[in-house]
Structure 1
Amino acid sequence: MIVLRTLLPWLMALAFLVTGAAAQEMEDRAEFGSGETRLLLRSTTDIAILRPVIQLFADRNPDLTIVYEQWGSNDLFALSRAGCREESEPADAVFSSAVQHMVWLVNAACARQVQSPLASALPPARRWRNELWGITTEPAVIVYNKAAISGAEVPRTRFALLDAMRTRPEFFRGRIATYDIGASGLGFLFAYADSLEATSFGSLLEGFARIEAVATCCSAEIIRGVAEGRYLMAYNVLGSYVLGDQSAEIGFILPEDYTLLLSRAYMIPRQARQPEAAERLLDFLLSTPVQAQLADAGLVSPIDDAENGLAPSARRFIPLSPALLVAMDRNRRAALFAIWDDAFRRATGP
C-alpha cells in the first residue's frame, strides 16, 4: 500500500516490469477434475469467483484436469510474453482484466486464431481478429461504506466527488482508495481511459493528493477495506467484486457522467499445448447458461436493470482493438505517470 504522491518511483519499476525482467509470483493455484489431459489456465480473476464455473466445466469434460493459476495482471503479462518467446511454459489459455496487455500480445503474434460461432457473434468491441474475446461485462464503480456515508451523500459524478473532497477534506483524509497504477495493469488502464475521457481528470488527481488518498494493488483488498471502514470510499473499482460481495456494509454507484465498462479478455496462446481444450473452454464461457452463471457471480453486470441501470449515453466501453496499443506506448505511459506526479506536487506544494 502506498500514498498516491509517492507514485513516481513506480515509473522505473513499471518500465522494468514491462520488459518482462521482473520476477513473477503466483497469487493462488487450484486444480479441477482428474482427466489425463492437462489444461493450464492463467488468469487475473480470483479463483473464488470463477470456482463454480470452472468446476462445472471440469465436470462436463472428464478427460481434462484444469490447472488454474491466479496472477497479478503485470506478472501475467510478463509471463505470457516469456511464453510467447518460448522462454517459459506457455499457458493453454490466458484470461486477463488488463486488456491492453492482451491486445499487445495479439499484436505481437502471440495468439492462436479460432473460428467459433459463439465467439464470432460477440459485438465488435468484444472481439479482435478471431484471436481475442471479451467474456464479461464489468463496470468501474464508486464504492462506499454504508455506515459512514448515506446513499444521498454518495457522489454520483466525478464533479460531485471533487466537491465532496473540497468541502470535507478532514473527513476523507486518508480514507479514499483507488488502484495503484504502478502495481495494477487494470488500474493503469482505468487511469488511461479517464485521462482520455474526463475533463475532470487533472482536478481529480489534485483532489486525491490533497486528502492523501491511498493506492493499493487489488480489488479484493480495496473492497475489504471499505467494508471494514478503513476506507470510506473507493474510486474506479471493478464492479464485479462489489456485485459478487453480499456484505451489507458496502454500496456502489455507477458514475452518471460516464462509467467505464470492461470485458475481461480471453486468448489462446500460439504455443498452447492443448488448444482444442482451450477452445472448448472458450465456447463454454460464452454459452448462454454460463453467461447467466457469470452474471450471478457479478462478472456480467446488470447495466440495463431498473435499480442499477446505466443510461446509454453514460456507457464507455473499453474496446478490444488496436487503439489500446497506445496505452502500451512507453512515451504515453511515462506521460501519464508524469501527469500524476505533477498534480500531486502542485497540490501539496514543494
Structure 2
Amino acid sequence: MIRLLATCLLLLVSPGIQAQEATATLGTGARTLVMRSTTDIAIIQPALEAFLVSHPDMRIDYEQWGSNALYANALSACTGETPAADAVFSSAVHQMVDLVNSACASSYRSGLTQALPSARRWRDELWGLTEEPTVLIYNRALVPADDVPGNRFELLDLMRQKPDAYRGKIATYDIAASGLGYLYAFSDSSEATTFGALLEGFARTQAVATCCSAEIIEAVSQGRYLLGYNVLGSYVQNAAPTNVGVILPEDYTMFLSRAYMIPRQARDPDAAAALLDFLLSVEGQGLLSRAGLIYPDDPSETGLLPSAKRFIALAPPLLVAVDRSNAETFLSVWNTAFPPVAVP
C-alpha cells in the first residue's frame, strides 16, 4: 500500500524519475557508509572529509540525487526492492517526513540530537542539519534599482506595472520536476495571502518554470532571466556570481533545514549515527556554515527581522503537501500560471 500510494504521487508530480546525478567516493577505509543526498557533492565534501579524519577506518560512497528520484529510491528501499542507503539527506523535507511516517526510518537519540530545536527534529527519526533561506535573486546590471522588489507585494506591483519588460524574464522551480520547488510553492500557498495574485502575475509575465537552483542562478547571471523567485539561498552563495543580487523578502522569508534520516534497512546504522553526530557537533555545524548551509542569525548582518522568519518545521503538517488529492488540486491551480509543456 505504501508503495502504491507513493507511486501514484510520484507519477503525479514527476513525469521522469531519474537515477543519481553524480557519485563520489571519499576516504579509503574498509567500512563503507552509503549516503544518498540532494546536496551537491562539492558543497558538503569538506564536512564529510573532516568526519573521515576522525574515522580513518571508513569511506563514504556519496550519491547525489534529484529530490523526487531520491524519494522514489528511499521508498523502494523501504520495501526491500532496492538496497538501502545508510543515510538519506534531502532538501525536500515533506518527502522525508512522509518516509518517516511510512515506517522507513530507524530511531536514534544522542545529546546532540536532543539539543536540536523542536522544528528541526521529529520522533528521534528525522533531524534538520541546516538553516537556509529561500530568496529572490536579480541581475544587478539589468534590473534598475527602483525595480528591485524587497517583498512579494513589490514583486506583484512590478509584474503589474511592467509586464512587457519582464515577460519571459522571471523564473522559478518547475514544481513537477523538483520536490523542493513543490514544497516551496505549497508552503507559499499556505503562508501568503499574495499567492493567488503571484500566480496571476506569473501568468501575465509568462514566467518560466525550470528545473533547479543552479540553472536559475546561472540564467539570471547571464541575463536570460532578470529575476528568480523562491531560490535556495545557499546555492546562490556557493555559486557566488557577483552580478546576482539576493533579497530576503521582508514580508516573510522561508527557512529550510535539510533533513537527515537513517533508513530502517540501513546496512551500517551506527556509521550513519556517527556521521549525524559529527554534523551536529560544533565542528560539523561550523563546516556547514562555511559551506553556506547555515545562514547568519544576526539581523544587523542579514537585514531580516526575526518576525519575518518562517521555519519549515519537520512535523506532521508537511504530510498535507504529499497527500495525493492535495497535490493534484495544487498542481491544477499551479498550471493555470505555468501550463505543462506538451510532449510530442
Structures share a fold, TM > 0.5? yes
Matched, 1:63 2:57: yes
Change (3 A) 1:144 1:22: closer
Alpha-carbon separation, structure 1, partners of 2:135 and 2:41:
22
Aligned residue type for 1:141: V
Q: 1:76-132: CA deviations, max 9, x gaps?
A: 000000000000010000000000000000011100000111011000000000000
1:59 CA displacement: 2.3
SS in structure 2 opposite 1:67?
strand
Matched, 1:134 2:122: no
Match of 1:256 among 247, 250, 254: 250
1:212 is aligned to 206
Alpha-carbon separation, structure 2, partners of 1:95 and 1:309:
30
SS in structure 2 opposite 1:87?
coil
2:300 is aligned to 306
SS in structure 1 opposite 2:149?
coil
More deviation, 232-241/23-32: 23-32
Aligned residue type for 1:33: G
2:322 is aligned to 328
Could you tell me which runs of 5 or more consecutive residues in structure 1 were left unpaired when the two chains were aligned. Answer: 1-12, 346-350
Change (3 A) 1:14 1:245: farther
Q: 1:180-239: CA deviations, max 9, x gaps?
A: 000000000001101011111011011111111111111111111111111111000011
1:33 CA displacement: 0.2
SS in structure 1 opposite 2:302?
coil
More deviation, 165-174/193-202: 165-174
- Mapping of residues 202-281 of structure 1, within 5 Å: 202-281=196-275
Alpha-carbon separation, structure 1, partners of 2:72 and 2:16:
8
SS in structure 2 opposite 1:205?
helix
Alpha-carbon separation, structure 2, partners of 1:140 and 1:20:
22
Contact 2:125 2:262 in 1 (8 A): yes
More deviation, 217-226/87-96: 217-226
1:305 CA displacement: 4.1
Contact 1:17 1:78 in 2 (8 A): no
Normalising by structure 2, what TM-score? 0.93
1:22 CA displacement: 6.1
Alpha-carbon separation, structure 1, partners of 2:128 and 2:12:
23
Matched, 1:110 2:104: yes
Contact 1:24 1:79 in 2 (8 A): no
Alpha-carbon separation, structure 1, partners of 2:10 and 2:306:
39
- Mapping of residues 169-188 of structure 1, within 5 Å: 169-188=163-182
Contact 1:16 1:22 in 2 (8 A): no
Identity of aligned residues (%): 57
SS in structure 2 opposite 1:171?
coil
Contact 2:15 2:177 in 1 (8 A): no
Change (3 A) 1:303 1:170: farther
1:307 CA displacement: 3.3
SS in structure 2 opposite 1:42?
strand
The number of residue pairs the alignment matches comes to 333
SS in structure 2 opposite 1:45?
coil
Contact 2:13 2:175 in 1 (8 A): no
Change (3 A) 1:68 1:140: same
Contact 1:179 1:215 in 2 (8 A): yes
1:343 CA displacement: 5.0
1:151 CA displacement: 4.6
Q: 1:139-190: CA deviations, max 9, x gaps?
A: 1100111111245531011110011111111211111110000000000000
